[in-house]
Amino acid sequence: MKARLMENMILPNLCIGLVLLVCSLFFRLDHVLRRRPERLRSKFRRQGIDGPQPSLFWGNIPEIKRMMSMVTIPKASSNTLEDPLPLDNSSIIFPHFKHWTKQYGKNFFVAMGRVPLLYVTDLDLVRAIKLYISLDLGKPAYLQKDRGPLLGKGVVTSNGAVWSHQRKTIAPELYMDRIKDKLNIVVESASALVKSWESIVESEGGTADIIVDDYVRNFTSRVFSKVLFGSNYSVGSKLLPKCVALIKASEKPTILDGLPFMRYLPTKKNRQMLRLEKQIYSIILDAAKKHDGAAVDGMLKTIIEGAKNGDLGPLTPDQFIVDNCKNLYLAAFEVTAMAAVWGLMLLASHPEWQARARAEVLEVCGGHMPDADMLGKMKVMKMVIQEVLRLYPVVAFVAREALQDVKLGNMIVPRGVNMWVWLLALHHDPELWGPDADKFKPDRFANGISGACKCPQAYMPFGVGARVCPGQSLAILELKVFFAAILSRFSLSLSPNYRHSPYISLLLEPKHGVNLLIRKI
């Protein structure tokens, strides 16, 4: 009797519990998928910001994919000044941004699946973001999730006290007074590249058709391998192919699909990424163990010391070392390499500026590789590099997340909202740069950034605020030496095989590489 009574009591209780669980899940889903996104949209509408209506599950991703599928890349019939390559790439790469800007203005609110996103190109808000130095404005959480195998939790993706410790550990090693001491490394690496091209050109009878991308990557990898690993710089030759493969495997983040759970599935791509991540981890950690306690001149020693003190957050000392080495190496070799590749393309397609830069190099250097004094005298070269970085900002987004409610000028950005500053729009805006904003005109920088742009804060190829790239001095040094070395030995023109197809994976890069006809002079 008692057993039957207990059964009669348990069954209703189980049913009630199940109903409560279902209701709880329903209300949770309703909050995540409908109420919270709508509450955020309402907060922005009250501040004068609207945006396209999202779908319940995928946000605005279906509309984004539809517009991207309709893009046709314009092709120039010839690579001449009269018929130049198209340099306004914003409508080719992410056409939805241009479309929504016309509809909603320079700031609008969209949803990438469940990720709330504020698109920003309004100058007042851009200026406020650039001047904001509080750690309440950090890097988006999706970077560690979507790009975890590639970026980990190093200085590029961390926030708060952990990031502050990483930055204080790393940045002093990249100050200008330290970088000047690395000039001989850059010159040696550039000389090696020149010799390899001379050999190829000679074997091809005086002119060679070369896809330059991997050669440039080898140059930047060689430079930073010596900066990072010191006397054990051969580690870089092991890292480079693994990192290039991992970048390729990571080129489409799950945020663009609205399927964040996909990164947990044992797909072929995910297994490949995990395998490459482990191999890179092993290479860097092995180098660190060999160096630990030894008298070395590389940044690795500084990073090892940083792992022994300070706030490491969720990182173990080994993870601190590996993730920060990986962040620095990836940024230093790939970002600088892509800037150099785009620069070669622009110089090859603008022979008048190629000639001006070459004449300056020959006059200043007298046929020798440049030293620090010579680099300081290259005014034309400086303008060329600034214009390359304007037209082709390799890191095409400045991405931030409000870690708390943040006040930027007159706007309140709620906690959890991501902000994307789309540099291709800012750097090509005729209201800022004049009617020739889409043309390669380095002399616009003759009087500096303030003379080139009506709002200097809109020029941000190295990021903004407290998180501006600490390696920008080294990158500029590399680019100056690289272009000086190449232009003093070779003339460049675009190959008939070159296909102009800029796209964004991790960075803004040429999808099919850059083919150049290279002739020794």
Q: What is the pLDDT of residues 82-139, one digit of tens each?
A: 445 566 676 678 889 999 999 999 999 999 888 899 999 999 999 999 888 889 999 9
**What is the spatial order of strands in the sheet that 107-112 belongs to?**
107-112, 115-120, 418-422, 397-402, 137-138
The rounded distance, in Å, linking the Cα atoms of 235 and 229 is 7
End-to-end CA distance of the chain: 104
Contact by Cβ (8 Å): 381, 484: yes
- Cα separations in angstroms, 258 against 61, 114, 465: 7, 7, 29
- Which pLDDT does position 94 carry in this prediction? 85
Residue-wise pLDDT for 393-435, tens only, equals 999 989 999 999 999 999 999 999 999 999 999 999 999 999 9
Contact by Cβ (8 Å): 337, 213: yes
Question: Is residue 16 pLDDT above 90, yes or no?
Answer: no
What phi and psi values does residue 94 have, to the nearest 5 degrees? -130, 80
If residue 419 lies in a helix (H) or strand (E), which one and from where to where?
strand 418-422
Burial (Cβ within 10 Å: 0-12, 13-18, ≥19) of residue 261: exposed
The rounded distance, in Å, linking the Cα atoms of 192 and 196 is 6
Residue-wise pLDDT for 59-70, tens only, equals 898 898 888 888
Q: Please give the full DSSP string across 365-415, using - where no structure is assigned.
A: HTTSPP-HHHHHT-HHHHHHHHHHHHH--SS-EEEEEESS-EEETTEEE-T
Residues in the chain: 521
- Cα Rg of the chain, angstroms: 25
Q: Please name the residues in contact with 181: beta carbons below 8 A apart, sequence gap of 6 or more.
A: none
Compute the average pLDDT of residues 350-365: 97
- Please state which of the ranges 109-113, 338-342, 434-438 shows the lowest mean pLDDT: 109-113
- Which pLDDT does position 261 carry in this prediction? 59
Question: Is residue 273 pLDDT above 70, yes or no?
Answer: yes
Residue-wise pLDDT for 292-319, tens only, equals 555 556 899 999 999 998 889 999 999 9
Question: Is residue 345 pLDDT above 60, yes or no?
Answer: yes
User: Locate tokens 């232009």: which residue?
Assistant: 487
Q: How many CB atoms lie within 10 A of CB 447?
A: 9
For residue 128, give both structure tokens: 């406020």
Please report, rounded to a whole number, the percentage of residues in the chain having pLDDT higher than 70.
86
Q: Please name the residues in contact with 183: beta carbons below 8 A apart, sequence gap of 6 or more.
A: 371, 372, 375, 477, 481
Contact by Cβ (8 Å): 110, 62: no
Question: Is residue 362 pLDDT above 60, yes or no?
Answer: yes
What phi and psi values does residue 438 have, to the nearest 5 degrees? -95, 10
Burial (Cβ within 10 Å: 0-12, 13-18, ≥19) of residue 392: buried
Give 206's DSSP letter.
Answer: S
For residue 316, give both structure tokens: 């173990």
Q: Please give the full DSSP string across 86-98, using - where no structure is assigned.
A: P---HHHH-HHHH
Give the pLDDT band (50/70/90) at residue 503: confident
Let me know the angle formed at the C-alpha of 253 by 250 and 258, rounded to the nearest 5 degrees. Answer: 155
Residue-wise pLDDT for 176-205, tens only, equals 888 888 899 999 999 999 999 999 999 999
Q: Please name the residues in contact with 43: beta carbons below 8 A apart, sequence gap of 6 or more.
A: 412, 414
What phi and psi values does residue 517 have, to the nearest 5 degrees? -90, 115
Compute the average pLDDT of residues 492-515: 92
Give 57's DSSP letter.
Answer: T
Task: Kindly report the average pLDDT of the chain as a whole number.
Answer: 88
Please report, rounded to a whole number, the percentage of residues in the chain having pLDDT higher than 90.
64
Under CATH, domain 35-520 is a member of which superfamily? Answer: Cytochrome P450 (1.10.630.10)
The rounded distance, in Å, linking the Cα atoms of 477 and 161 is 30
What phi and psi values does residue 99 have, to the nearest 5 degrees? -65, -45
Residue-wise pLDDT for 252-266, tens only, equals 655 555 555 566 677
Q: Please name the residues in contact with 414: beta carbons below 8 A apart, sequence gap of 6 or more.
A: 40, 43, 402, 405
Helix, coil or strand: residue 248: helix
The rounded distance, in Å, linking the Cα atoms of 400 and 117 is 10
Contact by Cβ (8 Å): 364, 96: no
- Which pLDDT does position 142 carry in this prediction? 86
Sign of the Cα pseudo-torsion (86, 89, 92, 96, in order)? negative
Give the pLDDT band (50/70/90) at residue 55: confident
Q: How many CB atoms lie within 10 A of CB 5?
A: 9
Question: Is residue 42 pLDDT above 70, yes or no?
Answer: yes
If residue 282 lies in a helix (H) or strand (E), which one and from where to where?
helix 268-291
- Which pLDDT does position 114 carry in this prediction? 82
What phi and psi values does residue 314 have, to the nearest 5 degrees? -80, -5
- Which pLDDT does position 70 carry in this prediction? 82
